[in-house]
Amino acid sequence: MRNSRILCCLLFILSFTLGAGQEFTLIEKWTPGDEILGRECFSLVDKDNHIVGTFFKSGNRLIKPKEVMSFAPFGQGPGDLMDIRALFFYHDDIAFVENHGKIKVFKKEGGKYLFKEIAWLKTGKYFQFVTDGLFLDNKWFLSGGEYHSDPSRVKGEKKLSYIRILQADGKFIKNLIFKSFPDSYKSAQSDYLKHFLAAYKGNVFFLSENELKVHLISIKDLEAKRVVDLQIPSFYRKMPPDFYMLNDSHVDAFNVFMRDMEKWQTEYSRIHKVLVEGDYLVLQMRTCDPKLKKFALLFYHADTFKLEKTILTNDYLLGARNGRYYFFANGDPGRDEEAEDLIIHIFSFGIKNEKK
Partner 1 sequence: MKRSERLFNIGIPVLAIGIIALLIVKFALNKKPGDFSIKDIGSITVLDLKGNKVNLEDLLDGQRGTYGLLFELTNCNTCIVKGLADLYQLEKSGESCLAIVIHDRPEEVAGWSQFQEFSSFYILKKIDFFNHFQSALLPVFFKIKDGKVTMFRFITP
Pick 131 or 313: Cβ nearer partner 1 = 131
Rule CB under 8 A: is residue 153 a binding residue for partner 1?
no
Tell which residue, 74, 94, 77, has the closest CA to residue 86: 94
Rule CB under 8 A: is residue 126 a binding residue for partner 1?
yes
Q: At closest approach, how far in Å is the CB of 157 from partner 1? A: 18
Tell which residue, 131, 123, 47, has the closest CA to residue 96: 131
Q: Are 327 and 318 in contact (CB under 8 A)?
A: yes
Q: At closest approach, how far in Å is the CB of 126 from partner 1? A: 6
Segment lying near partner 1 (by CB under 8 A), choices 34-42, 125-133, 186-194, 202-210: 125-133
What residues numbered 241-300 form the site for partner 1, per CB under 8 A? none
Element (H, E) at 55: strand 51-55
Pick 75 or 350: Cβ nearer partner 1 = 75
Rule CB under 8 A: is residue 121 a binding residue for partner 1?
yes
Q: Are 231 and 307 in contact (CB under 8 A)?
A: yes
What residues numbered 61-120 form the site for partner 1, per CB under 8 A? 76, 83, 99-102, 118, 120
Whole-number Å distance between alpha carbons of 316 and 211: 20
Number of residues that bind partner 1 (CB under 8 A): 19
Q: At closest approach, how far in Å is the CB of 76 from partner 1? A: 8
228: CB partners within 8 A, 6+ apart: 213, 214, 216, 305
Segment lying near partner 1 (by CB under 8 A), choices 165-173, 226-234, 260-268, 320-328: 165-173
> Degrees (nearest 5) of the Cα angle 280, 163, 113?
70
Whole-number Å distance between alpha carbons of 244 and 258: 10
Pick 126 or 235: Cβ nearer partner 1 = 126
- The DSSP annotation for 168-218 comes to TTS-EEEEEEEEEESSHHHHHHTTT--EEEEEETTEEEEEETT--EEEEEE
Segment lying near partner 1 (by CB under 8 A), choices 31-39, 124-132, 232-240, 270-278: 124-132
Segment lying near partner 1 (by CB under 8 A), choices 52-60, 66-74, 170-178, 223-231: 170-178
75: CB partners within 8 A, 6+ apart: 81, 82
Pick 170 or 233: Cβ nearer partner 1 = 170
- The residue type found at 236 is Y
Contacting residues toward partner 1, per CB under 8 A: 76, 83, 99-102, 118, 120-123, 125-127, 151-152, 170-172
